[in-house]
């Protein structure tokens, strides 16, 4: 039988802690939440692998280490309002719910959103509202946010989200294609997002966030 408690402990100790993740509340959340509840039943046994886990066509839960380092870099506080972009089946939102004051979990795939609602309810995640809408639009109705997390990669600087971020807010994401991607932290400067790289990272490219091909003569 699949020992999920042992698998979670090995994930945290063997993947997350060794990647310089030191936030104790974050480590506790990942050690307690059943990640297998957020993946398709057919791949539940893969839930704790050091890799992205497919959850739908072109979509995946990003690998635990990358998610943990992004969340740690965002410095999520107990009173923070967080926008979780492309929440998928809700695992990242569940983790964030243990750290933040409230979480808006945005998903454009209605089936994934329904799965997220069920999974979040099953694990008792409080303070999370799942909403359905285009990922590229964000969710301005509940903003501005202290933290915005992208669950995947973008090839464009997400300037459209600048108006949804508080003056001292943080937006974290993976920028660039898989092999050359960088995890980034963006902050506001004169109303625009300005970012700095924090570590090498890869993740699935999110719908709507591909760069427009340059015209070649």
**pLDDT score at 217:** 53
The whole-angstrom separation of Cα 103 and Cα 126 is 9
Domains and CATH numbers, the chain: 4-200 (3.40.50.150)
The whole-angstrom separation of Cα 142 and Cα 81 is 9
Q: Give the helix/strand (H/E) hosting 119.
A: helix 110-122
What the block records as the tokens of 114 is 């329904």
pTM of structure: 0.94
Q: Give the helix/strand (H/E) hosting 199.
A: strand 192-200
212 band by pLDDT with thresholds 50, 70 and 90: confident
Of 161, 166, 164, 185, the residue nearest 174 (C-alpha): 185
The whole-angstrom separation of Cα 101 and Cα 85 is 17
**pLDDT score at 180:** 81
Evaluate if residue 68 carries a pLDDT over 90.
yes
Angle at 19 between CA 17 and CA 25, to 5 degrees: 45
pLDDT tens per residue across span 52-67: 999 998 899 999 999 9
Q: Report residue 70: phi and psi, to 5°.
A: -65, -45
**pLDDT score at 215:** 55
Half-sphere exposure of 184 (CA within 13 A, CB side): 23
**pLDDT score at 213:** 72
What single-letter DSSP state applies at residue 184? E
CA distances from 8 to 28, 33, 73, 199 (A): 10, 8, 22, 24
Q: For the chain, give the percent of residues with pLDDT over 70.
A: 97
What the block records as the tokens of 1 is 């039988």
2 band by pLDDT with thresholds 50, 70 and 90: low
* Partners of 195 in beta bridges: 186
**pLDDT score at 73:** 97
CB 202 within 8 Å of CB 179:
yes
pLDDT tens per residue across span 183-205: 999 999 999 999 999 999 999 99
Of 209, 51, 29, the residue nearest 103 (C-alpha): 29
């Amino acid at each position: 039988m699949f020992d999920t408690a042992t698998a979670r402990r090995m994930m945290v100790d063997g993947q997350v802690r060794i990647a310089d993740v030191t936030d104790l509340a974050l480590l506790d959340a990942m050690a307690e939440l059943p990640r297998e509840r957020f993946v398709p039943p057919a791949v539940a046994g893969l839930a704790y692998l050091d890799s992205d886990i497919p959850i739908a066509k072109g979509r995946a839960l990003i690998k635990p280490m990358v998610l943990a380092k992004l969340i740690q870099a965002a410095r999520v506080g107990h009173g923070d309002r967080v926008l979780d972009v492309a929440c998928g089946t809700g695992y990242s939102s569940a983790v964030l719910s243990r750290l933040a004051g409230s979480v808006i979990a945005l998903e454009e795939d209605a089936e994934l959103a329904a799965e997220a609602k069920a999974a979040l309810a099953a694990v008792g995640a409080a303070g999370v509202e799942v909403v359905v809408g285009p990922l590229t639009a964000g969710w301005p109705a509940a903003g501005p946010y202290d933290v915005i997390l992208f669950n995947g990669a973008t090839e464009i600087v997400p300037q459209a989200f600048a108006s949804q971020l508080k003056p001292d807010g943080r937006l974290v994401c993976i920028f660039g294609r898989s092999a050359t991607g960088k995890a980034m932290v963006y902050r506001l400067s004169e109303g625009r997002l300005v970012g700095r790289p924090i570590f090498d990272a890869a993740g699935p490219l999110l719908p709507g966030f591909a760069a427009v091909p340059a015209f070649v003569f």
